[in-house]
Structure 1
């Protein structure tokens, strides 16, 4: 037994398709684990001014009450505004500036001596040169004018005064700044360990040095005043320079002194009861619980969280695989089809994750203090799972996929029961409305139904949970409208998905329903009998499959095109022989059988030429299975005195056998509809017997062994097809002829005479 089990798994592992399916599932689980958010904010989502909709909230541990970001920002601004600008004293610059003043003063007196000498000698050329080049350019012209009045300056006294004036300004504080940008007080760092707060009004600035010298310095003459004002304003550099580094450090210290908390909640404290109004204080406490919980989880190892999330994803995904393996094995064992379903679910859950992060971002931005009452999770067009999967694989798979998508959203995206309920309702409406899609406008009606389902289920759930209409957040209904608009945009991806995965959706089948398709047009002209036969088979097959459960649109399209191979040589098929000429009269039975059998291969070639979907080609390949061409086989036996042919395969179709409910029902409907045309006088009894005989023959010939039809399905098929045939061949009322007019006796006598 152990050897058998080990051999079984060894063979499975060697199966490349099995390994691909395992890899596909691992990739899906890993991607889902990566994209799903990790947040507690939506778990405790609330609205200030609204009722608390969750169960009673009790503090699970001690935690501080955090201030809101706005209040912290206000305290920071206030603290920073109280930090005055810091100016650092530059003693080196002081000494350097005083030396510069003395140098400029020496230069002045050199020119002054030359000027006075030229004045005594009345050397007008030298006077004009010195006055033009020096006094009017380097020094104020008022000095030259004063000197012309023979006012004199004492050089030794001037050097003493210039240093004295500089010291007065430097002691007061000469700042390299504009006074209107500083406020009322600044800090002067006079020494590395000494800082003095000084009012801005008492300080000296480059823009106020003239006013300061006029008010605070005494001069002996106008010449001296003009000279010192000029020298001090031009050559005296500020001894205090703004220190951005020291000011920023002071502001940082002020910010660090601000506490982010202002209270504490102890473990076991009842924070809020269900239905209680959430005011600003309780909102702050709930927000603090969320922050503290995120910190605690973030400080723990991520291994346990990763394992738990992966396990949840695995379990939910196994539900889908279990359903498919039992009810839709052809999807389960097709890696392409399975990957499409997982891709669409991944796309929808990814949209939920993005919407959740957007909601969380908005909650952080508003700090959950304001009345932020939009849950952007409803922006995610989650109904695309129901729509896409239903279009490709039928409404049952679409319904199950929608349920699991809602479960992903409710459990893993940490939304409440509300989201799951609303999503299940909207997705189910989408699946139901697309069941019998025959026109493209049905999709747009579906969008309206989805919006109404979202809105009604959302309002109904909130009425039940809130106890009335007043507490409902109607702003979320606007998100449903945006959701539907996004669904329209995403819906266009269905054509891209068809090309990527090589599958066919119901939209493509809708296009093939159009009787203006070139193949159907040719069939109506060249093989009108076959065309009418295909129409009847399509109606019978669709009515049957709708009862036992299957894709009615698929089987209808498949029935329309299953006999397109007869277009190559339509005259060899009796339904197209209207002139009484039968070309089979010139052929042997084996040759005639081959002519009949060849229409399957011809149909496959035409389907490839006109690029029909692979799903439609399956109907062409399987609608006769491996049955015999009974008419020519029996004719051969009659001609050869019941001697079987040397190669019976000449009278048998090459297959394959039907492998689904749809292909099996088409085979049965095709045979029964064709055989019913041979009944000379169809009655309910003869039609019922015909149906039973053909179905029994198919079962006996093992033509249905690969289809997943059950005995109950076979019983239902017998009843439905019989009912359809009775509808087609129902008896009609025989209308009475118009009564003959009374003839004259002479005419009656003449007629009697002729009859004699």
Structure 2
């Protein structure tokens, strides 16, 4: 068990990457559509680009969503509503009428008159309660049919056969005239109005149940295509019934493939393809970006962005596939370029699009447009900390989208008569959404502890607290760092490296000297040199320790790892040569390990540039009566010496780029010393 835990401890980084690989594969498979992939891509209104298609099996033609929606709407509009008839209402009305009548005719002298009124009143009550009285405002036409439910019996009548309370007054007057009872019309009207109450109400529950039953009974199909029947010919436009037949075939095919028997194999197939994509990413990182591969935080960041893009696209496709181009996929290469480099950004972008090919309709068109847009993103977006650059790049990306879509439309349609300009709006929205990159970069910096050019711009401020402290404690070192920053930035611009990154790295590369500022000649103002009293080995240790001290200080100040890399590598594994030779003179021999920086070697163009600029700038102070030719040979000697020592073996920098850097360093040093090229007499 102890060995097992020891194994886990030693290989926890690799185990985490395996876990990340499996988790990412699972999440992507979960997001992918649950069905077999239909062999054909088609769009409504576009020509069929394949050979004649015949039905591989018999299948039902499904109604379109529009047809089903209209059918449901018709059911809701045309369903006959139910009304509830309260049975005892008529008897209660007669009893109430009789009670009011008795109260009004107490004297027996009016018995004949009372009976006449009673007879007329009962007749009217019988008439109005034939179908019932309703108090609701008539939202239904008088001619519309309704179901009147009396107990367990249902009768079909027109709504107009019901008596509405608003009609009672006129009905009573007409009935009195008809029965020639005008002599006591006012009295009779009062009694009837008091006695008659509504007894019919709409039964919403029964009506909704009826609608639900009708909706459930809707047949989703509108016909059948027999096996072997021709569905569409090559070149025929996909529209109308043909489009619906193709859609039905696609749905039927996917449902047949995604059955219980085939589910395992489909998932297995998805798993292999998704695993291949992620495996390619791991292999790329291992071979070309080992520093990223070794950093699980950065690997997690890359996988997180891939899954995020797949998730967003899947959600949009499920809601409405027409809006798939609104998803700002170009944010992915843009962000990866901001944190890493363009090559990785484009590679990850392409891999993500391969995964999205399972999700989106018309995958070839989608992949073509998105890959082109991704390439434009990589080529145009530079110096992201300059907001104008992002706006210009977004404009260029949008234009490329529109041109690409327009070209596809012409190829498919052969004309521009039915071009839908709203699709151009989707590309504009995607471009605007890409502007969200700035706040997203800030969020990622805080979440993953990464650093972008935007943060580098903030770190380059010489009024920052740490650089202020450096200028106060070690003014000579601060001035040296500024000179190195200028040299390194110019060299980086010359070869196309990250100038902002190398400038910031140069500003902070010697912060470790603040621990013992007077141990370094640039800070020795009084002429006293502490190394005159120290043995060479001890002096070398003090000098070498400024790298370790710088790393520790940078971590305490929470500087990004990309900046700490410059502190760690700016001397590589070079030797403190002055004290090494001094030790040899004093002792006759010296162990080179005691005078050698611990490394590591520079592993990027930027860190290699800093090593050259730092060495050249520091050593240039020792030049006596510098001339242009002296500076040229001096730069050549220092840089060539570093190359011979193998200091740039791990940096992806070419001989041509090193020659360009030398030229820049020579030119800049000549400018610093205000020298001109010496011409022969």
2:295 alignment partner, one of 306, 324, 334: 334
Matching of residue 519 in structure 1 with residue 467 in structure 2: yes
Question: Which string of whole-angstrom CA distances, capped at 9 and with x for unpartnered residues, describes residues 267-301 of structure 1?
Answer: 44444456544443434444444555566567757
2:30, 2:13 → 1: CA distance? 26
Correspondence for 2:312? 351
Alpha carbons 1:447, 1:484 under 8 Å: kept: yes
1:263 alignment partner, one of 218, 223, 234: 223
Correspondence for 1:495? 442
Normalised to the residue count of structure 1, the TM-score between the two structures is 0.73
Taking a change above 3 Å as real, the CA distance of residues 604 and 286 of structure 1, as seen in their structure-2 partners, is: same
Taking a change above 3 Å as real, the CA distance of residues 599 and 90 of structure 1, as seen in their structure-2 partners, is: closer
Taking a change above 3 Å as real, the CA distance of residues 16 and 98 of structure 1, as seen in their structure-2 partners, is: same
Alpha carbons 1:379, 1:479 under 8 Å: kept: yes
2:668, 2:119 → 1: CA distance? 130
Matching of residue 507 in structure 1 with residue 454 in structure 2: yes
Q: Please provide the CA RMSD for this pair.
A: 4.6
CA-CA distance at 1:631 after TM superposition: 1.4
Correspondence for 1:26? 22
Where 1:417 maps in the other structure, the secondary structure is helix
1:252, 1:356 → 2: CA distance? 29
Matching of residue 411 in structure 1 with residue 368 in structure 2: no
Alpha carbons 1:623, 1:670 under 8 Å: kept: yes
1:285, 1:611 → 2: CA distance? 63
Question: Which string of whole-angstrom CA distances, capped at 9 and with x for unpartnered residues, describes residues 478-524 of structure 1?
Answer: 22222222122243121221122122223223344456656388299
Where 2:643 maps in the other structure, the secondary structure is helix
2:462, 2:244 → 1: CA distance? 66
Matching of residue 420 in structure 1 with residue 370 in structure 2: no
Question: Which string of whole-angstrom CA distances, capped at 9 and with x for unpartnered residues, describes residues 206-242 of structure 1?
Answer: 4444544555566576556555544444324567665
CA-CA distance at 1:400 after TM superposition: 0.8
Question: Which string of whole-angstrom CA distances, capped at 9 and with x for unpartnered residues, describes residues 105-145 of structure 1?
Answer: 44443x234xx6xxxxxxxxxxxxxxxxxxxxxxxxxxxxx
Taking a change above 3 Å as real, the CA distance of residues 40 and 304 of structure 1, as seen in their structure-2 partners, is: closer
Taking a change above 3 Å as real, the CA distance of residues 223 and 316 of structure 1, as seen in their structure-2 partners, is: same
Question: Which string of whole-angstrom CA distances, capped at 9 and with x for unpartnered residues, describes residues 703-733 of structure 1?
Answer: 67xx6358xx675576555555665688955
CA-CA distance at 1:558 after TM superposition: 2.4
Correspondence for 2:600? 657
Matches within 5 A, 1:344-383: 344-360=305-321, 375-383=322-330
Moved more, 627-636 or 601-610: 601-610
Moved more, 23-32 or 178-187: 178-187
1:433, 1:618 → 2: CA distance? 28
Alpha carbons 1:66, 1:284 under 8 Å: kept: yes
1:501, 1:579 → 2: CA distance? 46
Alpha carbons 2:489, 2:500 under 8 Å: kept: no
Taking a change above 3 Å as real, the CA distance of residues 487 and 543 of structure 1, as seen in their structure-2 partners, is: closer
2:482, 2:214 → 1: CA distance? 91
Taking a change above 3 Å as real, the CA distance of residues 90 and 599 of structure 1, as seen in their structure-2 partners, is: closer
Matches within 5 A, 1:25-424: 25-37=21-33, 50-52=45-47, 55=50, 59-75=55-71, 84-87=80-83, 90-109=86-105, 111-113=106-108, 153=112, 163=122, 166-167=125-126, 170=129, 172-177=130-135, 180-182=138-140, 183-184=142-143, 186=145, 197-198=156-157, 204-209=163-168, 211-212=170-171, 215=174, 222=182, 228-237=188-197, 242-244=202-204, 247-248=207-208, 259-273=219-233, 276-289=236-249, 292=252, 303-360=264-321, 375-424=322-371
Matching of residue 530 in structure 1 with residue 480 in structure 2: yes
Where 2:559 maps in the other structure, the secondary structure is coil
CA-CA distance at 1:473 after TM superposition: 4.3
Matches within 5 A, 1:701-720: 708-709=650-651, 719-720=659-660
Taking a change above 3 Å as real, the CA distance of residues 529 and 231 of structure 1, as seen in their structure-2 partners, is: closer
Alpha carbons 2:491, 2:609 under 8 Å: kept: yes
Long gaps (5+) in structure 1: 1-6, 117-150, 361-374, 738-756
Alpha carbons 2:59, 2:225 under 8 Å: kept: yes
Correspondence for 2:433? 486
Taking a change above 3 Å as real, the CA distance of residues 86 and 408 of structure 1, as seen in their structure-2 partners, is: closer
Alpha carbons 1:692, 1:718 under 8 Å: kept: no
Matches within 5 A, 1:549-698: 553-566=500-513, 573=520, 584-585=531-532, 587-604=534-551, 607-608=554-555, 611-640=558-587, 642=588, 644=589, 651-653=595-597, 655-658=598-601, 660-662=603-605, 663=607, 666-667=610-611, 670-671=614-615, 682=630, 691-696=639-644, 698=645
2:159, 2:519 → 1: CA distance? 113
CA-CA distance at 1:155 after TM superposition: 5.7
Taking a change above 3 Å as real, the CA distance of residues 476 and 394 of structure 1, as seen in their structure-2 partners, is: same
Alpha carbons 1:344, 1:384 under 8 Å: kept: no
Moved more, 207-216 or 339-348: 207-216
Moved more, 421-430 or 291-300: 291-300
Taking a change above 3 Å as real, the CA distance of residues 9 and 184 of structure 1, as seen in their structure-2 partners, is: same
Alpha carbons 2:487, 2:613 under 8 Å: kept: yes
2:492, 2:530 → 1: CA distance? 34
2:408, 2:146 → 1: CA distance? 63
2:566, 2:266 → 1: CA distance? 49
Instruction: Say which one has the larger Rg.
Output: 1
Alpha carbons 2:486, 2:503 under 8 Å: kept: no
CA-CA distance at 1:554 after TM superposition: 3.3
Question: Which string of whole-angstrom CA distances, capped at 9 and with x for unpartnered residues, describes residues 515-574 of structure 1?
Answer: 66563882995347734762476258637975xxx7565344323432344466666555
2:326, 2:564 → 1: CA distance? 40
Alpha carbons 1:513, 1:557 under 8 Å: kept: yes
Alpha carbons 1:538, 1:560 under 8 Å: kept: no
Give the paired residue count: 663
CA-CA distance at 1:196 after TM superposition: 5.1
CA-CA distance at 1:636 after TM superposition: 2.8
1:239, 1:440 → 2: CA distance? 73
Alpha carbons 2:333, 2:349 under 8 Å: kept: yes
Where 1:484 maps in the other structure, the secondary structure is helix
CA-CA distance at 1:321 after TM superposition: 0.8
Taking a change above 3 Å as real, the CA distance of residues 156 and 46 of structure 1, as seen in their structure-2 partners, is: same
2:486, 2:162 → 1: CA distance? 105
CA-CA distance at 1:657 after TM superposition: 2.3
Alpha carbons 1:62, 1:264 under 8 Å: kept: yes
1:179, 1:637 → 2: CA distance? 113
Alpha carbons 1:275, 1:466 under 8 Å: kept: no
Long gaps (5+) in structure 2: none
Taking a change above 3 Å as real, the CA distance of residues 293 and 232 of structure 1, as seen in their structure-2 partners, is: farther
Matching of residue 446 in structure 1 with residue 393 in structure 2: yes
Alpha carbons 1:37, 1:357 under 8 Å: kept: no
1:688, 1:358 → 2: CA distance? 64
CA-CA distance at 1:244 after TM superposition: 4.5
CA-CA distance at 1:37 after TM superposition: 5.0
